Amino acid sequence: MSGSDNPGPGYEFKAFRNSSHYWILKILERENSPVKILDVGTASGYLGRVLTGRGHCVTGIEKDPSTAEAAREHYNSLQVADLEAFDFPYRRQFDYIIFADVLEHLRDPSAVLRCCIPALKENGKIIISVPNVANFLVRLSLLLGRFDYMDRGILDRTHFRFFTLRSLEKMVSEIACKVVEVIPTPLPVQIVFPSTESKLFAPFHATLYALTRCWKTLFAYQFVMLVTPNDPSVPVDSYREIFQERMLTNK
């Protein structure tokens, strides 16, 4: 049985400054012209809506049919598919592949990442965002003998995998990719206390983000990581063999 590759219903677009979605969009703002993007695990299509609005050509993949139907209008094309059984039929097609809050919902995220690499153009990049299970709040809970699953957040009950910065970097290395950039995000106080989005709290958020950047392994809520393949010339068939081996293993 494959894992869920879409976040739960409580997930929403995090538009506030320094959130994971904020930094994903900031990375893509570096492009001087429209690019081709694969958004893996679209949820309701909030990233697709922004990206197509900026002129990019965006393809989406979503597992849940009803969620995919709601997201479809925000994409140039969209496939309904279970990521852990998806063959990624695209070849050298995308400038970016985005896994925003997706990998932690998969049983074998490294296998899915390997299989998507042939879909990248020669200079293509992967953008990943995952929660940091080594965040100080989780550490404090463990110290108190608690590891309670929740409806959302780092210990979301739909998460199959948990990442620290070190384990994420190790996974990237194991799939023959290299880390180009790591951006830590602070605790999303604005979600719990919406009133803090007021400009009055700007100094507080700036201080929290400065602290997060100074000690990201402890204070980061999420990591946004920009990744590139070590060798983009690796034959597509090599990755197809990996996919076929994974399918046989899962049977």
User: How far apart are the C-alpha atoms of 72 and 42, rounded to whole Å?
Assistant: 9
Confidence band for 8, pLDDT divided at 50, 70 and 90: very low
Sequence-separated (6 or more) residues with CB below 8 Å from residue 98: 24, 37, 38, 39, 40, 47, 126, 127
> What DSSP assignment string belongs to 177-188?
EEEEEEEEE---
pTM of the model: 0.87
Residue 103 lies in a domain: yes
How high does pLDDT run on average in the chain?
89
Residue 200 lies in a domain: no
Residue 113 lies in a domain: yes
Residue 165: CATH number of its domain: 3.40.50.150
Residue 146 lies in a domain: no
Cβ-in-10-Å burial (0-12, 13-18, 19+) of 144 comes to: exposed
Percent of the chain clearing pLDDT 70 (strictly above): 88
Give the other-Cβ count within 10 Å of 74's Cβ. Answer: 21
Cα dist from 143 to 6, 136, 212, whole Å: 30, 10, 21
Residue 155 lies in a domain: no
The structural domain count of the chain equals: 1
Residue 1 lies in a domain: no
Q: Indicate the residue type of 107.
A: R
In the beta sheet, which residues pair with residue 131? 222
Which of the residue ranges 68-72, 185-189, 195-199, 230-234 would you say has the lowest mean pLDDT? Answer: 230-234
Q: Quick: pLDDT tens for 67-112.
A: 999 999 999 999 999 999 998 999 999 999 999 999 999 999 999 9
Residue 202 lies in a domain: no
Confidence band for 235, pLDDT divided at 50, 70 and 90: low
Residue 213 lies in a domain: no
User: Which structural domain range is residue 39 located in?
Assistant: 20-131+160-186+222-250
